[in-house]
Amino acid sequence: IVEEGARVAAVEATASGVRWTFSPMLDVARDPRWGRVAEGSGEDTYLDVQMGLAMVKGYQGADLSDPTAMAACIKHFVGYGAAEGGRDYNSTMISERSLRNTYFPAFKAAADAGAATLMTSFNEIDGIPSTGNKWLLKDVLRDELGFDGFVVSDYDAVHEMVYHGVAKDGKDAARMALEAYLNMEMTSGDYINHGEELVEEGVIPESLLDELCRNILVAKYELGLFENPYRYGGKERFRKAIYKPEAMELARQIARESMVLLK
């Protein structure tokens, strides 16, 4: 039923012109003080795997080139739900054994299922923010877990590495993120402000930019945006796709089956 719900969400969202969703959230969360527990699937790794697979399949369908397919973004890589004291953006203390047993499996499963994109987490792992962590994003995510889509930072997360105290300024933050194989920066502007300069100075090889851009271009190609950039949305399609009786009934069924009473 989760897969069915995600499929309806994709059909309705793509009819509105949206072809990328920042979902599913695969953060295992075991501290109810953390404010984002409602966005995830709870505290059990196996359940997290199954819910993530269902949502990826529902959003993306059988083929990303389908006009009703919406690119999924598995997030937040990794350990965001383990923020100390349940305080959002806070530090984490996670052993590598816990990473591998508790936090990696859902991302591995979703990567194997063809999830198109992935988002980094705000927290650090062993003192290094995920957004600038080459071991995490290159050695583990790509080389070990086999993820071949593109990676986007969370909101302003590249520049926030300055506030973490690991980058001295926006230029240094851009360098860290690029060297960690982060494909796309969300909102903070350090790539566009300093990327060209980093290449001209020889700090970042142009070949690395080519590689990072390639993942983004492949995703756009698979979504059919080069063939027809306006394939998503349209007044007639929107009118036919929204508020279908069967979709409304499915929403009610999901709500009924999702209710949990706490005593």
In order, the DSSP letters of the chain are -HHHHHHHHHHHHHHTT--B----B------TTSTTGGGS--S-HHHHHHHHHHHHHHHH-S-TTSTT--B-EEEEETTGGG-GGG-TT------HHHIIIIIHHHHHHHHHTT--EEEE-SSEETTEEGGG-HIIIIIIIIIIS---SEEE--TTTTTHHHHHTS-SSHHHHHHHHHHTT--B--SS-HHHHHHHHHHHTTSS-HHHHHHHHHHHHHHHHHTTTTT-TT-S--HHHHHHHTT-HHHHHHHHHHHHHH-----
Among all residues, which ones are annotated catalytic?
A: 154
